[in-house]
Structure 1
Amino acid sequence: MNLNLDAKKDMTYDAIVVGSGISGGWAAKELTQKGLKVLMLERGPDLKHVEDYPTAMKDPWEFPHRGKIELWAAEEYWANARSGGKPGEDQRHMFTRDVDVPYIEKRPYDWIRAYHLGGRSLVWGRQSYRWNERDFTANLEDGHGVDWPIRYKDLAPWYSYVERFAGISGNKDGLAVLPDGEFVPPMQMNSAELKAKAGIEQHFKGRHLVIGRPAIISVAQKIHTDLGRASCQFRNLCVRGCPFGAYFSTQSATLPAAMKTGRLTVITDKIAYQVIFDDQQNKAVGVRVIDQNTKQHQEYYAKIIFLNASTMNTAWIMMQSTSKRFPNGLGNDSDQLGRNLMDHHLGAGASGELDGMQDLYYYGRRGNGIYIPRFANWADDKRTDFVRGFGYQGRGGRQDWVAGASQPGFGPAFKDNLTKPGRWEFNIGGFGETLPDPSNRMRLADKKDKWGLPIIEFDAAWGDNTVGMRKAMMNDAAEMLDAAGFKNIKTRNDNTKNQGIGIHEMGAARMGRDPKTSVLNAYNQVWGAKNVFVTDGAAMVSSSCVNPSLTYMALTARAADYAVKELKRMNL
């Protein structure tokens, strides 16, 4: 009996964090820095900063296939390949083989995963924007979904808090639609982008073109160098892993900060599949896991639990967490668990060419682009064929030697010509908001994976609102490029992509004001299980049209602060 008690004591912590991606890393950092003994559980293998970025410093000619996707890789990483992902030999070590973790598609869904320590914090696009005030009231305004239980003012100080630590490069643009933050110096636009900015802003009132705001340190501050992070080297090889720590990831930022406290334990290769809920105590007491290599089951215990396994896996864990109190899944009194899947639809926009400026070029390979904030259904720009709006991401540049792949010719003269910069080009693509819809959902399938756990079945698609929005994304892009003086404008509106293409999956365990219509409260607590917190994409109530990761960070820091205070008050 004493041996059993000692064993349980060794498996007991103040807090458990499930998942090590962007939000999980933040949860671990905040909880340990506030004095808690924390266990971080990661379902994938360990991945160490710098030493486990094997391709980070390689040149293109060092890859047998020059980084291309081989036929076998396209089959094994089929969701990545289908969605336009990059399972090439230079970066597939950062992604998960889809054949190892299958899922069912009632309607097609592209689910891109990175099961290893750090998760998708090592492969994300790093674009980091605050949501604006109307993003938090949109559902209430037009009646789609439920009302957010918080407002911009509730999250604003936490946006500032996470921005300073993460290192967001950006310019203070003074736009209500895209609130300013705490930035390190902005990256610079090139000549084509400045040309586009001048033309668009001259001809279209209320439309703006700004430099993107990435979680990439342009000029490292002391808060960054203290953790071993350095300024960006402008190589634009971010997806291979940044050995300089310039871009924000769990490995470069939150993990070393948490480890410095001496209060973090990280265990990898443990698939968390169930939260243990004690009906007598009316609270969660731990987490059940299975070792992905040995298939041995284990239980860990804690006073508070943060679920940050990413939108789908967090909901998957909650669905399996049944008890007398929650027969349909943890916090699922509302039947909203697994519903309201959202993503950003993209693939509509335009590109153009620019004459002149042949004496101008740019320095380095900037791992960032430009951003055109939402203008549709904002201020005086009213639309009748869709609600909400979209923004554009893109960049300008000069054509390089890659153009030779589609040009006729051979020999010394042909190759010499490829060493000279070509014409200036500019391209923008829209990121559109998706409305919450309870029929867009995921379920537990009857089929089991190789660990004996249920796989996920997806049943989600773009809604009718995207049709008119995508036409506007394409037409408005072409209209702006034409007004700015670009030539040979080409439009696109690719309707073949599925939900998941934006890799911004949201919903599935949304926040709300009423336990009858939501899964979480205003502090990301599970209704009816107040010591369980969900702060990843599953918590989102609407999708906005800007990248969501900065909001995950802010929600996590806010929830962790609240959780520790409540724990000290003995309310958890």
Structure 2
Amino acid sequence: MSSRSMNCDGPWDAIVVGSGASGGVAAMTLAEGGARVLVVEAGPNLTSTEAFGSEPGNLLRRIVGLTSGSHRRQSQHPGYWKANPRLYADERLHPYDHPTNQPFLWTRGLQVGGRSLTWGGITLRLSDEDLAGVNVDGEQVGWPLRSRDLMPHYAELERWLGVHGGRDGLDHLPDGETQPALVATPAEQRFAEVVRHRLGYPVIQSRGFGPWLQETNAPWPRSSSRGSSLPRAMATGRTQLMSEHLVERLLVNAGGDKATGVVAVDQANGNRKELKADLVVLAASTIQTVSILLRSRRGEQSNGFDDPSGRLGTRLMDHVSTSQFFAFPEQVHAAQPPLTGAGSFFVPFGRHLSSAEFQGGYGLWGGIGRFDPPRWLRRRPSCITGFLIGHGEVLPRVENKVTLSERSDRWGVRVPLIACRWSPNELAMVTHMRASIKACIDAAGGEAKPIKDLFHLPFVEPFLDGAVALSDGAAPPGYYIHEVGGAAMGSNETSSVLDSSNRLWRVPNVLVVDGACWPSSAWQSPTLTMMALSRRACLLALSGRGG
């Protein structure tokens, strides 16, 4: 791929900000449609060896990341302990603020490929039930779309990416155009049978990507933009990449109704560059995209855009979650299948919950017998280990928001201030989740235990004590890395930031195609829907069609 030193000033037909799941699909769609595209990425262009590393080097990098403070917050997430820490942003160079009493764990992937390089690869569609939204303080907050609007884009992505999944026939979780589901472990099969028959809960094999190394010997996983959409975009000969340049703001004309490009900050020296294009596509990840828009408003800039809704930055959401590990009575087999997006299972309640005293829905994601360490590291050698993680829909509340802090980063870019906390609705949902998790484990004959009571973790245990994400209650917002909202799409400019084609109401040549555009959170893993929205919005832009 192109290097960071290339002259990319333009003008371009389109600038895509961000190179992750949404940005990769945007670049591919636009370039294959004939547009000349510049992809601007804040992080470096790593080789696959640099990106994924190996042990024990990754462990040493984790220790450095923790002791130096560069990964103080991000290390709370379990994914940090199985990935190369190079795929997590240095919090000292890329700071953010939150109120002292409202912790927010913002995980950032600043490199070409973004967080798609650490994505778990679960691909669940939204249903019309989800898109109808929720009622918040007397207002029905829903989507200006229905499943028919997303169906062709879901189907194209699922077929092309080769995701796996079953035909489960659930109205609230539509089936996809998938390859056959992967086989569950024997323990998962027993668990599912018992939970279905004793509790009447639905249990399905998860939908998503299979194990990377068993699929191909390609240098990048298919679930990442580096292994899928970005190579297709580059193959057109109409796409260039500018890495290590963080987009600070939009360039907007004097009338405030057209973007002429973006201002990007060279991360090597702080120099600012004006990059010109006819179309700007923001896919920098939810909070970063919202921050770019906040820095581009009238009042922040002499030439800025207006947000007639007054809602920009408000109604930030992340999935509320709680987790439980458990011992399951079965010997560890010599070869354990890996835990992947398709190699796992779901208890997909959605909104179909009994005795629910809250709005929204949730699902339980789990796996059994997929990640046990060698026998000498297991405290219960006669058992294998399972987990269940609930992740649930969060209400779009005006008080959960992103604003601009008075603090700036090393190059003078004002950083986000994130104020987000769970409401009584989410806390009631977590109580219900924990009861459902307990019911499943008890029915299946498992024994709920903290992870440190299941494994000997000599290098990790000192960092687990007091970890907020491992408490019995709800992990803090941001923990699940499914943040959405802040620049919601809608049917009119007084109640939404974007129109139904993902365009800024007053600046229609700016598209927002990552999680920032979501009006409500639903409960499903959001990445496939983000990619479908990105493809749809870019095809509409190419065709010149409006909302």
Q: TM-score per shorter chain, which class? A: 0.7 to 0.9
Shift in alpha-carbon separation, 1:36–1:231, aligned structure 2, 3 A: farther
The answer for unaligned runs of 5 or more in structure 2 is 1-6, 451-469
Q: Specify the alignment match of 1:209 in structure 2.
A: 203
3-state SS of paired residue (2:320) = coil
Counterpart-to-counterpart distance in 1, 2:104 and 2:386: 30
Q: Specify the alignment match of 1:239 in structure 2.
A: none
- TM-score computed with the length of structure 1 as normaliser: 0.84
CA offsets per residue over residues 491-517 of structure 1, 9 Å max, x none?
A: 986336311000011001011112111
CA offsets per residue over residues 424-470 of structure 1, 9 Å max, x none?
A: 34321211111110100111111211111111111111111112211
3-state SS of paired residue (1:69) = helix
Amino acid at match of 1:392: L
CA offsets per residue over residues 98-148 of structure 1, 9 Å max, x none?
A: 111111111211111111111101111111110112000132699565221
3-state SS of paired residue (1:530) = coil
Q: Does 1:465 align with 2:425?
A: yes
CA offsets per residue over residues 278-305 of structure 1, 9 Å max, x none?
A: 1348311111112111222211111111
Counterpart-to-counterpart distance in 1, 2:306 and 2:199: 47
Which of 150, 153, 178 aligns to 1:155? It is 150
1:416-431 to structure 2, matched below 5 A, reads: 422-431=382-391
Counterpart-to-counterpart distance in 2, 1:257 and 1:181: 23
Which of 437, 455, 468 aligns to 2:415? It is 455
Q: CA deviation at 1:64?
A: 8.6
Q: Specify the alignment match of 2:348 in structure 1.
A: 374
Amino acid at match of 1:215: F
Amino acid at match of 2:89: T
Counterpart-to-counterpart distance in 2, 1:329 and 1:372: 45
Amino acid at match of 2:528: L
Q: Specify the alignment match of 1:133 in structure 2.
A: 128
Counterpart-to-counterpart distance in 2, 1:279 and 1:78: 42
Amino acid at match of 1:198: E
Q: Specify the alignment match of 1:518 in structure 2.
A: 496
% identical equivalent positions: 30
Q: Specify the alignment match of 1:391 in structure 2.
A: 363
Counterpart-to-counterpart distance in 2, 1:311 and 1:402: 39
Which of 240, 258, 272 aligns to 2:247? It is 272
Q: CA deviation at 1:170?
A: 1.4
Counterpart-to-counterpart distance in 1, 2:80 and 2:366: 19
Counterpart-to-counterpart distance in 1, 2:303 and 2:291: 12
- TM-score computed with the length of structure 2 as normaliser: 0.87
CA offsets per residue over residues 326-371 of structure 1, 9 Å max, x none?
A: 989645221111111100111244634225xx59665543434433
Which of 175, 183, 186 aligns to 2:178? It is 183
Q: Specify the alignment match of 2:89 in structure 1.
A: 96
3-state SS of paired residue (2:369) = strand
Q: Specify the alignment match of 1:237 in structure 2.
A: none
Counterpart-to-counterpart distance in 2, 1:81 and 1:145: 37
Assess if the C-alpha contact under 8 Å between 1:400 and 1:422 holds in 2. Answer: no
Q: Specify the alignment match of 2:12 in structure 1.
A: 13
3-state SS of paired residue (1:347) = strand
3-state SS of paired residue (2:69) = helix
1:100-115 to structure 2, matched below 5 A, reads: 100-106=93-99, 107-115=102-110
1:328-347 to structure 2, matched below 5 A, reads: 330-347=305-322
Assess if the C-alpha contact under 8 Å between 2:38 and 2:239 holds in 1. Answer: yes
Q: Specify the alignment match of 2:464 in structure 1.
A: none
Amino acid at match of 1:503: I
Q: Does 1:505 align with 2:483?
A: yes
Q: CA deviation at 1:313?
A: 1.0
3-state SS of paired residue (1:194) = helix
Q: CA deviation at 1:404?
A: 3.2
Shift in alpha-carbon separation, 1:466–1:366, aligned structure 2, 3 A: closer
Shift in alpha-carbon separation, 1:121–1:164, aligned structure 2, 3 A: same
If you compute each CA radius of gyration, which structure gives the higher value, 1 or 2? 1
3-state SS of paired residue (1:153) = helix
Q: Does 1:287 align with 2:262?
A: yes
Assess if the C-alpha contact under 8 Å between 2:295 and 2:301 holds in 1. Answer: no
3-state SS of paired residue (2:228) = helix
CA offsets per residue over residues 167-188 of structure 1, 9 Å max, x none?
A: 2121222211221111123211
Q: Does 1:35 align with 2:26?
A: no
Q: CA deviation at 1:482?
A: 2.3
Assess if the C-alpha contact under 8 Å between 2:233 and 2:239 holds in 1. Answer: yes
Q: Does 1:82 align with 2:76?
A: yes
The answer for unaligned runs of 5 or more in structure 1 is 1-7, 219-229, 234-241, 408-417
Q: CA deviation at 1:84?
A: 4.5
Counterpart-to-counterpart distance in 2, 1:246 and 1:271: 25
Shift in alpha-carbon separation, 1:324–1:261, aligned structure 2, 3 A: same
Assess if the C-alpha contact under 8 Å between 1:507 and 1:537 holds in 2. Answer: yes
Q: Specify the alignment match of 1:562 in structure 2.
A: 540
